Structure 1
Amino acid sequence: MKKPWGRLRLGVVAIIMLLMLAILVSGCSKETLLPKDESYMTQAEEKKVKEAVIDYIQKRYNKNFEVQQIDKDHLFGADYTIRGKIKDGKDTIIYVTGNPPNDFQDTYVPQLWTDELEPRITKYAKETMDFRLMKNIVYGDGTKKTTYTGEIPSVYDVLKNGGDKDFTLTLSIEIYDHHGQSQAEISKFLNELKKMNLNEVIIEIFVYDDKLKTISKKTDTDNYAIYRYNISGDIQKIDINNLDQYKTVIKH
Structure 2
Amino acid sequence: MDDMATSLRGLTILVTGASGGIGGASAELFAAQGATVYLSDVDDAAGQARAHALGPDAHYLHLDVTSEEDWAAATSAIAANGHVLGVLVNSAGAAIKAPLQQTFLDGFRKMLDLNLIGTFLGIKAAAEAMVDGGSIVNLASLRGVLATAELGAYGAAKSGVRTLTRVAALELADRGIRVNAVCPGSIETEITSVPDFAADDTTAYVRSIPMRRRGSSEEVAKTIRFLATDDSAYITGTDLIIDGGQAAGVRTPRIFTESVSK
Task: Please classify the TM superposition score into its range, dividing by the shorter chain length.
Answer: 0.3 to 0.5
TM-score, length of structure 1 as denominator length: 0.33
Bigger helix share: 2
| TM-score (norm. length: structure 2) | 0.32
Q: Which has the higher strand share?
A: 1
The structure, 1 or 2, with the larger RCO (C-alpha pairs under 8 Å, 6+ apart) is 2
Larger Rg: 1
